[in-house]
Amino acid sequence: MPDALFADPRLARLYDAFDGPRDDLDPYLAIAAELGARSVLDIGCGTGCFGVLLADAGFSVVGVEPALASLELARAKDSRVTWLHGDATGLPPLRADLATMTANVAQVFLGDDWEAALRGVHDALRPGGHLVFETRRLEARAWEGWAETTHRVVDGVAERRELLGVDLPFVSFRHTYRFPDGTEVASDSTLRFRSRAEVEDGLVACGFEVVDVRDAPDRPGREHVFVARKVSAAPAPTRRPGESSGPGRPRRRP
């Protein structure tokens, strides 16, 4: 089930304002051009920021998002994009050139749903198509920077972030929003931190070849950007996939 940050209409409307400039998306546009993609599937598209950038650049775009409140905001931004309500496990046979998961979407998959999502993306890609996504480096211990409670105010709405717990590979935190009328709404999130080897093994197990592992240009030393290519039919699952592919798009910088 998507976190309230993406599923609650009051919070979804705040997402873009609090997230700020999306300079993290420019490298993905460059990779799409580098790979010669013409059609892009954006997994966990959220409020549609990347989908709109892709459409502006001339790509054919499908965005998929499980949080309906976020998806409705995306739909209102651009009619050129095909916006789908759902997740990576129930995609139509798109035969896309490229699938993307920006903003650390890969970390919202907490268990078997990660394998189920990779297999769903595999099926939605054309033969030889690519999957590109980022994930925080486990060894960088990003959660240590979240330990102190932080406060911000945007458009009269106050945001408070606090770390709830670390039980590796899982890290949980809470965003609480206080509106001008005094109403408070909280959104709890949990992310999974995987090692580079764990991510690579999962990709290979689901029919991908790891082509490259890059640094995130705007966060050097803190994240890996994986570039993987569909090379075969995905092997049969080794365990039963979970029922959910996890929540929607996580905040880029908790």
Asked if 18 and 131 sit in the same domain, the reply is yes
Mean local confidence (pLDDT), 118-130: 97
* Domain assignment of residue 247, yes or no: no
* Domain assignment of residue 200, yes or no: yes
CATH of the domain at 220: 3.40.50.150
Mean pLDDT over all residues of the chain?
Answer: 92
Taking 90 as the threshold, does the pLDDT of residue 93 lie above it?
no
Asked if 86 and 208 sit in the same domain, the reply is yes
In this structure, what are the phi and psi dihedrals at residue 90, rounded to the nearest 5 degrees?
-130, 40
Q: How many domains does the chain divide into?
A: 2
Window from 41-45, 174-178, 236-240 with minimum mean pLDDT: 236-240
What confidence score (pLDDT) does residue 239 get? 52
Asked if 157 and 117 sit in the same domain, the reply is no
Question: What confidence tens digit (pLDDT) does each residue in 125-148 have?
Answer: 999 999 999 999 999 999 999 987
Q: What is the pTM (predicted TM-score) of this model?
A: 0.91
Asked if 112 and 181 sit in the same domain, the reply is no
Mean local confidence (pLDDT), 156-178: 96
Asked if 147 and 221 sit in the same domain, the reply is no
In this structure, what are the phi and psi dihedrals at residue 122, rounded to the nearest 5 degrees?
-55, -45
Q: 238 falls in which pLDDT band (50, 70, 90)?
A: low
Rg (CA), the chain: 17
The whole domain housing 185 covers: 140-190
Taking 50 as the threshold, does the pLDDT of residue 244 lie above it?
no
Taking 90 as the threshold, does the pLDDT of residue 191 lie above it?
yes
